[in-house]
Amino acid sequence: MDDRRRPPRVQGRLTFAPASDEEFLRLFRRIAVGSLDEETRRNIAVKGAEATARDEMDFYLGCPGRREWWRVAHTPDGQVAGLALPSATPYARNVGYLGVVPEFRGHGYVDDLLTEITLIHAESGAELITATTDTGNAPWPRPSPAPATGLRRSACCIRRRWRRDAETEAPSPEGDRTVMKGGSGRAL
């Protein structure tokens, strides 16, 4: 991508680098332990951390996203803080997977990981980036409930559209739209 079209990189608290499949597998395993993600917790209870990590790795390797987008996040002193996996579906680019290792949780690194994923997608021309999480995962954005509906929230999807700036041709966000889906699949 031409530097004039590249979104600005902000000096963050983390640095990002590619890594081997073996390193990503180790990180999937570390991140799964103590995860707030309901499906991850359920899978660990049934089949253990090793099999859960292998299944996650295999799933993302099979997605339409590019393996070369994947990054490991490091703190300024070189410690591994987490991973960021930009991915894709047949319909749009998405966050895929991100996670912080247990010893660095609670420091807001999820924001750095999400920013890196967003920038990778924007640099490669994505106009729509989606993300999903279960609503019990407290560090993720939690829009207010819709009390009158009687529906249980089961997913949150954040959509960000990008447009090209007329002067610089760099991608810039048009805005976010949060869609809440309830048990019936209706938007709340």
- CA 79/CA 16 separation, integer angstroms: 11
Q: What's 187's DSSP letter?
A: B
Please report, for the domain that includes residue 123, its CATH number: 3.40.630.30
Q: Is 187 inside a domain boundary?
A: no
Q: Is residue 146 part of a domain?
A: yes
Q: CB–CB of 135/36 below 8 Å?
A: no
Give the closest residue to 24 by CA, choosing from 63, 44, 54. 54
pTM, two decimal places: 0.71
Residue 147: DSSP 8-state:
T
Q: Which domain, by its residues, includes 75?
A: 14-182
For the chain, the domain total comes to 1
Is 1 inside a domain boundary?
no
pLDDT in tens, the chain (188 residues): 444 444 555 567 899 999 999 999 999 999 999 888 888 999 999 999 999 999 999 999 999 999 999 999 999 999 999 999 999 988 889 999 999 999 999 998 988 998 899 999 988 888 888 888 776 666 654 443 333 323 233 344 444 444 545 555 554 544 444 333 333 222 22
Is residue 6 in some structural domain? no
- Residue 44 parent element (H or E): helix 38-61
